[in-house]
Structure 1
Amino acid sequence: MSWSDRVHRRLSWFSRAGAMAVLGAMALLVGGCTVQPLYGNVSSVTPGVADARIASIYIAEVDTRDAQEVRNHLIFLLNGGAGQPDNPQYRMILKVTKRSASTVTLQSASGDNEPTAGSVRLIGRYRLKDTETDKTVIEGERSATAFFDRPRQLFAESRAKRDAVDRAAREVAEFIRLDMMMELKRAQAQ
């Protein structure tokens, strides 16, 4: 057996031993990991079923289409499509603002600057109050940005912008729901 064969055989053994050591270390790390659902118990996790506190949030009426989109998505996310609760434990006050901007400008051959892309940013500010004490439990702000094409046709542009607002509203609602779930879980642990 040549010297290079012996070196190759030893390196092969070291690489196998190293791989086994890495796998063993990963198994120890994963074995010590305590992943558990944010809401629900470990033995019976059912997708779509929320904790009673999340399902008992009433979302107050809003005054704009953008806020209504966020509100509708939140109602669905919090209650699994069951609508608003009859006897809510919490009441949410929601305010949504919108900012639009041109993001890309393309210069055409005629020398006119024509916007070809835009963005919509929705900012959702919310306050969650306890219905019995009227004390603020959680307060926060979450935002999402969606981009859209701005074609020359006015109707196509307005529809693209509206679709972007709807996408951003879904994201804002999801961010607010996750924020509330974490804060309520944190309050429960204290």
Structure 2
Amino acid sequence: MSDYVIRPVHSDEWEKVKELRMTALRDPVAHLAFLEDPEQAAAQPDEFWQQRAARVAQGRKARQFIAEAGDGRWLGTVTLLVEEAGSTDFFEQVVEREQGHLVGVFVRPEQRGTGLTEKLFEAALEWAWSLEGPALGRVRLIVHEDNARAEAFYQRFGFVATGVVLLTADGDAKEREYVYGRPAL
């Protein structure tokens, strides 16, 4: 039996959303995994964090899942964004199909290797597959070429490399796309 619960974030939990994000951004590989740095995030006003929590707590466009310990401490998180066909993604690429996009993956170091990340991914995928009008056919994620630990986990979980490679903003490194297809009914 686990000593945590996997659940979606509630819109009034912005302070915990902020705390876990700031912790994630201080991780040694954060520069490979996230599109912002701790200084940028710390400079954001409370309203930013309140709006961020509200966006990932309701509606169809995004959902953030957390693992919450019995004492209320958040142990890890993942966010699933819904990308609409024809929209533009973070890399300025046009999205070809309605799909999910996993972002913001973080698990506290002491929880890594315990199965918690798998449970977070399962919750996010279950939510993705439950969406209707239109249903999502796949979920993708992007991983930096130097983030071997994350890439190995994604492959073990069942994500498959598509062969799509994107350049980082500075053009010095590559980001690889992985997808997880919707299970057949």
Greater Rg by CA: 1
TM-score where L is the length of structure 1 = 0.22
Which structure features the higher share of helix residues?
A: 1
TM-score where L is the length of structure 2 = 0.23
